[in-house]
Amino acid sequence: MTIAQTGRRRGRRAAKSSENLREAILKAATREFSGKGYDGARVESIARAAGVNINLVYHYYGKKESLFIAVMEDAYVRIRTHHNDTNIRTHDPVTGMAELVRSTFRFFAGNLYIIGLLNSENLHQACHIQKSEKIATLYDPLLGLIASTLERGVELGIFRAGVDPVQLFLTIDAVCYFLLSYRYTLGFVLKQDLTGKDALARREMHVVDVVLSYLKYRPEN
């Protein structure tokens, strides 16, 4: 093996090691911020959980706010990826819209840590994610996809006309997010386990039915 080949191999190992360290720090930070919120999270705890020196955290991510923004960017990318735009686009309007609602609900139900992150950032009035160019434009394609799906449904005589894509998106997020965000207090006052397998399945069917029933309802003029 030549000196150049040896150098390239060492460079690849170093890059892989750096990538693994960044990933370990990001995962530890995600747990810390989700569980304690932005204010309660400590960089020292993140470094300890990641098994690295605190200086390495600052080296890769800078200050605490930069690390939190990286965590939020990762969370938003995961949400958008789970929406599965391709399936929505290729299905008929009803199936596509049902897929959007179902995937949104299942993602939140399967990734409850993201609810902790979103709740924390809302307490800060989104002041951190406003500094992220990635998050700022991440949802533009989804809103366009919702609009085109609605248009196809109207053209086929399936959906009601005049539905605002933004309002529909807000409704989908609301009916999927609310139960999971308030699962502890609602479970206590309603005396029910709201997050068991059967309970989540019933809720999923309900939210899909609510959205589709609204879209299919065409009031008489």
Regarding whether 102 and 71 lie in a shared domain, the answer is: yes
Q: Under a CB-based contact definition with an 8 Å cutoff, are residues 66 and 74 in contact?
A: no
- Tell me the pLDDT band of 107, cut-offs 50, 70 and 90: very high
In this structure, the answer to whether residues 45 and 102 fall within a common structural domain is no
| 42 dihedral zone (left: phi>0; alpha: psi -120 to 50; beta) | beta
Residue 79 lies in a domain: yes
Q: Are residues 56 and 146 in the same domain?
A: no
Residue 114 belongs to domain spanning: 65-216
The better pLDDT of the pair 6, 69 is held by 69
- Torsions phi, psi for 84 (to 5 deg): 55, 65
Q: What is the pLDDT of residue 220?
A: 64
Quickly state the pLDDT bin for 1 (edges 50, 70, 90). Answer: low
- Residue 192 Rama label (left phi>0; alpha psi -120 to 50; beta): beta
Q: Residues 69, 138: contact at Cβ < 8 Å?
A: no
Give the whole-number percent of the chain exceeding pLDDT 70: 91
Burial-class residue 55 by CB neighbours within 10 Å (0-12, 13-18, 19+): exposed
User: Do 122 and 147 have their domain in common?
Assistant: yes
Q: 131 and 207 share a domain?
A: yes
Please give the tally of structural domains in the chain: 2
pLDDT confidence band for 8 (50 / 70 / 90): very low
Over residues 1-11, mean pLDDT: 48
120 and 174 inside one domain: yes
Q: Is position 221 within any domain? A: no
Where is the domain boundary, 19, 38, 62?
A: 62
Q: Same domain for 33 and 103?
A: no
The answer, yes or no, to whether residue 4 has pLDDT greater than 50, is no
Task: State yes or no: pLDDT of 13 exceeds 60.
Answer: no
| Same-domain check for residues 57 and 69 | no
Q: Do 56 and 117 belong to one domain?
A: no
Residue 38 region by backbone torsions, left for phi larger than 0, else alpha for psi between -120 and 50, else beta? alpha
Q: What's the pLDDT score for residue 66?
A: 97
What confidence score (pLDDT) does residue 19 get? 87
pTM of the model as a whole? 0.85
The CATH number covering residue 40 comes to 1.10.10.60
- Residue 125, pLDDT > 70, answer yes
Q: Which two three-digit tokens encode residue 72?
A: 């939020």
Instruction: Please state the rounded mean pLDDT for residues 119-137.
Output: 95
HSE, side-chain direction, 13 A CA sphere, residue 3: 0
| pLDDT given for residue 88 in this prediction | 84
Residues 185-216: tens digit of each pLDDT:
999 999 999 999 999 999 999 999 999 999 99
pLDDT greater than 80 at residue 167:
yes
Q: Which residue has the higher pLDDT, 159 or 87?
A: 159
Q: Is the pLDDT of residue 112 over 90?
A: yes
| Residues 69 and 120 occupy one common structural domain | yes
Same domain, 36 and 129: no
How confident is the model at residue 48, as a pLDDT? 95
Looking at the predicted structure, is the pLDDT value of residue 17 above 60?
A: yes
- Domain annotation covers residue 30: yes
